[in-house]
Amino acid sequence: MALKYDYRNVKNADKFLWDDQGNMEEKYQAVIFETMNVGMNEITKDNFEEFHLRHKIISELYDSRPYITKGSLKKMIGLWTNARPMTKGKFKTDMKRRLGHIIDRKLNK
């Protein structure tokens, strides 16, 4: 399934989403794609901090530095995507599954 998104409800989106060449800024493009990874299909004033926390957890899991800031997420309040949403319980289960794959891969080297 192709990822679809709608930023029409993002306040002042046309003032910060695009660069001088008309391309979407990479940091906001990353937020859109990360909706699939964190299992959250919209960003609201009530959930942007949880989105950031999930992003940080995933970054730690894969031993990388978080690249999405709370500030970027705050600006993206109103974003909607067709990413499959995950409850907190489902997210935890998914993280345990991913960790299991990482452990198996490292032990089988």
Q: What is the pLDDT of residues 62-71, one digit of tens each?
A: 989 999 999 9
pTM over 0.95: no
pLDDT at 1: 80
Q: How many residues does the chain have?
A: 109
pLDDT at 96: 96
Q: Which residues of the chain have pLDDT under 50?
A: none
Q: The domain containing residue 100 runs over which residues?
A: 5-107
Burial class (CB in 10 A: 0-12, 13-18, 19+), 16: middle
The Cα–Cα gap between 27 and 43 comes to 15
pLDDT at 8: 97
pLDDT at 29: 96
The Cα–Cα gap between 55 and 68 comes to 8
Number of domain units in the chain? 1
